[in-house]
Amino acid sequence: MATGDITWFNAARALDYFAGWAGTDVIKVAILDNTATPAAGTATPALGDFTEVGTGGTYTAGGTSLGDWATVWSESGGTGTMDSATNPTWAQDAGNDTDAYWGLIYNDTQAGDPAFAFVELGGPVDMSAGSLTITWNASGIATLTQA
Q: 86-104 pLDDT, tens per residue?
A: 999 999 999 999 999 999 9
pTM: 0.93
DSSP 8-class letter at 133:
E
Residue 63 in any domain: the answer is yes
Rounded CA separation 146/44 (Å): 19
Q: 111-146 pLDDT, tens per residue?
A: 999 999 999 999 899 999 999 999 999 888 988 777
- What is the predicted pLDDT for the residue at 144? 77
Domain span at 27: 6-145
Query: Mapping DSSP to helix (H, G, I), strand (E, B) and coil, where does residue 67 land?
Result: strand
Cis peptide before 88 (omega within 30 of 0): no
Q: Are strands 142-145 and 79-82 parallel, antiparallel or unpaired?
A: antiparallel
User: Percent of the chain at pLDDT above 90?
Assistant: 72
Residue 139 in any domain: the answer is yes
- What is the predicted pLDDT for the residue at 128? 95
- What is the predicted pLDDT for the residue at 15? 63
Phi, psi of 140 (to 5 degrees): 120, 165
How many domains does the chain contain in total?
Answer: 1
More confidently predicted of 21 and 143 = 21
Residue 1 in any domain: the answer is no
DSSP 8-class letter at 41:
T
Q: 61-88 pLDDT, tens per residue?
A: 999 999 999 999 988 887 888 999 999 9
